[in-house]
Amino acid sequence: MSKKSSYIILALILLLAAILRLIHLFSMPFSYDELSALARTHYSSFNELIDKGVIIDAHPAGVQVFLYYWVKLFGYAEWVVKMPFIICGVAAIYYAFRIADDWYNSTVALVCATYLATIEYTVMYSQEARPYVSGLFFVLAMVFYWQRMIFKHEKHFIRNIALYILFSGLCAYNHHFSLLLAALVGFTGLFFIQRRYVWKYVVAGICIFVLYIPHLHIFFYQLNVGGIGGANGWLDKPKNNFIIKYIEYVFQFSRYSYLIVLGLICYGIYSTWKGGSKHLKSFIISGSWFAITFLIGFFYSVYINPVLQYSVLIFSFPFLLFCLFGWLPQLGAKQTSLIITIVALSNIIALAKGREYYTLFYKQPLEQSIILTDSINSSLGKLNCVALIQGDDSDKNTSKFYIQKYHSDTSSFFWLDSDTLNCFTTKENKYYKIIHFLEQQKKPYLSLGCTSQLDANVIPLILDYYPYLVKAWDFHGGNFFLFSKLTDKGSNYPISFQSVNGYEEQVQYWEESDKKFVTDSIAYSGKHSYRMDSAREWAPAFGCKLADMAHNKNDFIAISLEVYPLETLNDAIIVMESTVDGKTIDWRSEPVSSFIPDNTYRKWMKVWYTVRLSNANINQGDVLVKAFIWNKGKKDFYMDDFTVKILKGNPVIYGLFEKI
């Protein structure tokens, strides 16, 4: 294939990449992370930006500083803020092509460029104003000038080394993992640089370090206070199958994509076996960069602090593609065009249909919560609907953008994380504020806009007072619900499984009740309840195989019971335990006192414990789910109507990252 033909095909790939990233350009919303970053651009000085907007974050200063000045010049419109990152996403494909063309051949380069142009992984991060696709661009530009300096040093050495220094510095200021890549690339060069260029190369490394010196105090502060990683528990440690899940994700969970990738690899290995490999050095370099990046992220996450996510591997992802497709031989223009056409069509169909990308990405829950709240208030009237919104932050900065954009009247809004309703505190009686609020509401409707971070107990609590679901809107990362008190305006919330122990008779899935503690002196419903006192630490437990209860990993297990306290119920706990072959794999609990005010006695009160299945470590083997009361403090109370049910969850709550 001629150089001219390869560049014509590359131009078409870049055009396709631009189209996929610019679709509905003026309708692209901000994600929570973008709004959080933009909320930190309102400081009055650069020093204040660093002290209050950068150093407290988990990322280097580069992108935050860029956004600070970019929005001052061009404003906050979504497409304006995102445009530099879209450009970086397209430009990164060009550099990936140039590197693969130098290291392998133009067929390999065009196949890799096609994948970078058309998969959700790179399309999505090109549309987010975050330090991922910018880092991808900086890394690939750095590697291009590095390899030109190392392997083609006789051509434009000064220009190449200067641009290598520049882009290495940008990698360092962009993200800690792009900094890691810059360090790996620099170290690799020591093995390949010719002796007469060693000192120049060392000086280049010193220059990169000097460029980074102003940032060192930020780096060490973030490292020392645990800011690098999921220090606050928002990020879990990676599981041993992380790399398998990552491969499934980047190839869009599509069986056709898997077959195409496998076919290209097999064809490439067959061709290499016949003709011999000429690119061993390139395979070693590419494979080492991806593997080392992954392993450092994995073991740091397991033993120190969780940092490993799909996003942080995007900087080394092109080198994984080089390893997978670098076996391909040089083919003619027609053969190469046929391959990339098949790859592109498969990926685009998976992107638009299988992944529902252009639906899920373009409906972010923070924006939709404001739009739908306004719409429902307009159609039902503010006097008929209670509007609840989860803002995710106490000062509502992330929601403020869309409130201002749509000129929303927030006078009727109630924020779930406000002092009035906050149920995210760890204090005793933490749910009583929202319970008291719901008890006071007389309006026939209640709307709720929320993110995936919503406390799982909130929806069951609402259903106690607004038991009918009018409609639910499902988004990636969140939901919007409209509930009603009126029987003719909605239906019961979808439940796929329910088991209730009212202590009237033996019930399937429940241990047999000790007759000595079953009483007919008081009951919430029926004739009997179960007495707990200083002689009874454990109540009869529920036990059922998860496979017989739930079929969607995003559904909720909702455990509830009616409690009649005779004293303050400290150390009375609702427990959910999951076991496999008798071994506990997950154990979690909620104090009964979270729902009952201190010194509240001789009154039936409902308590809940709700868990999203995907947030519990119960997606393995033949899981047995147990639910029971642990009367750890040997307290005195009655209990009745102990219920375990499965509430329908949002099937696309994590749809941009998991299989739908």
Mean pLDDT by 10 residues, the chain (660 residues): 92 98 95 91 92 88 96 96 98 98 96 98 98 98 96 84 97 97 96 90 96 92 64 73 96 96 94 75 95 96 92 98 95 96 98 96 93 93 91 62 88 76 64 89 95 90 95 95 91 94 93 91 94 91 91 92 92 92 89 86 92 75 89 93 95 93
3-state DSSP assignment of residue 74: helix
Return the ∠ at Cα 528 (arms to 522 and 530), rounded to 5°: 85
Give dist(CA 524, CA 642) in Å, integer: 11
What pLDDT shows up at residue 394? 43
* CB-CB neighbours of 434 under 10 Å: 21
Write down all domains in the chain, each with its CATH number in brackets. 3-360 (no CATH), 365-492 (no CATH), 495-647 (2.60.120.260)
Whether 33 contacts 132, CB under 8 Å: no
Angle, helices 62-74 vs 32-39, to 10°: value is 80
393/417 Cα distance (integer angstroms): 7
CA distance 466 to 447: 10
Phi, psi of 628 (to 5 degrees): -165, 170
The whole-angstrom separation of Cα 589 and Cα 121 is: 36
> For residue 41, what are its two tokens?
């651009």
How, if at all, do strands 478-484 and 572-580 pair? Answer: unpaired
Dihedral over alpha carbons 77, 83, 89, 93 (to 10 degrees): 160
Please tell me the distance from the alpha carbon of residue 657 to that of residue 618, in angstroms, as a whole number: 19
pLDDT value, residue 286? 96
Q: What is the pLDDT of residue 231?
A: 46
Give the pLDDT confidence score for residue 169 in this predicted structure: 97
Residue 236 DSSP label: P
pLDDT attached to residue 58: 84
> What residue type is 509 in one-letter code?
Y
Residue 208 near residue 163 (C-beta atoms within 8 A)? no
The predicted pLDDT at position 278 comes to 73
**What contacts 362, CB < 8 A, 6 or more positions away?**
24, 27, 28, 29
Give the 3-state secondary structure of 416-427: CCCCCCCCCCCC
CB 578 within 8 Å of CB 622: no
Ramachandran region, residue 561 (left: φ > 0; alpha: ψ -120 to 50; beta: rest):
beta
